[in-house]
């Protein structure tokens, strides 16, 4: 299974970006192979509008079944939900901590958009 995480910088101590649509990049972690790839998102970081929608498409097209981020707005959530991607909210943490928390089952699933548009 592939897990996508929003990241604001890179490296093992990279912090989870709590914003979804305007995260700088996504780290896609494959739980079976342990392989990690980075999907750049700077195009949406600087988008005039609709960043969440296109970021959601990035996550879907990367083949992720799970997204770990801080918060998720209504349009992005609509796209993710439509493709069956489950969304989990994490407090501020490093990527490693967030992944560990997910595997331990302590992250809360976001079942509906938890912030307004343009949050």
Partner 1 sequence: MRPLTIAVASGKGGTGKTTLAVALARAIRDEVTVLDCDVEEPNAALFLRVPFTEEEPVTLPVPEIDKEKCTVCGECSRFCRYNALVTTRSGTTVFPELCHSCGGCALVCPAGAIREVPRLIGRTRSGRAGRLTLVEGELEIGRALVPPLIRAVRRRGAAQGLTIIDCPPGTSCPLVAAAGGADYVLLVTEPTAFGLHDLTLAAASLRELGLPHSVIINRAGLGDDRVEVWCREAGIPVLFRIPFSRAAAEAQSRGEGVLEHIPGLRELLAVLPERLGGDA
Choosing from 75, 94, 114, 119, the residue that interacts with partner 1 (CB under 8 A) is 75
- Dump the DSSP string for 100-113: HHHHTT-SEEE-S-
- Long-range Cβ contact pairs of 17-20 (< 8 A, separation 24 or more): 17/69, 17/70, 18/69, 18/70, 18/71, 18/90, 18/92, 19/69, 19/70, 19/71, 19/119, 20/52, 20/55, 20/56, 20/67, 20/69, 20/70, 20/71, 20/72, 20/73, 20/76
Nearer to partner 1, 18 or 47 (CB): 47
- Least CB distance from residue 84 to partner 1, whole Å? 9
- Least CB distance from residue 38 to partner 1, whole Å? 20
Name the segment binding partner 1 (CB under 8 A); options: 34-42, 74-82, 90-98, 99-107: 74-82
Q: Does 54 bind partner 1 (CB under 8 A)?
A: yes
Q: Does 60 bind partner 1 (CB under 8 A)?
A: yes
Q: Does 104 bind partner 1 (CB under 8 A)?
A: no
Enumerate binding residues for partner 1 (CB under 8 A).
47-51, 53-54, 56-57, 60-61, 75, 78-79, 82-83
């Amino acid at each position: 299974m592939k897990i996508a995480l929003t990241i604001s910088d890179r490296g093992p101590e990279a912090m989870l970006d709590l914003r979804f649509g305007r995260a700088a990049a996504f780290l896609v972690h494959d739980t079976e192979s342990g392989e990690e790839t980075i999907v750049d998102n700077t195009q949406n970081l600087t988008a005039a509008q609709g960043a969440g929608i296109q970021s959601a498409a990035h996550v879907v097209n990367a083949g992720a079944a799970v997204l770990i981020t801080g918060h998720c707005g209504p349009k992005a959530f609509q796209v993710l939900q439509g493709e069956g991607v489950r969304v989990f909210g994490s407090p501020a943490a490093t990527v490693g901590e967030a992944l560990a928390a997910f595997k331990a089952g302590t992250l809360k699933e976001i079942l509906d958009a938890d912030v307004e548009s343009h949050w």
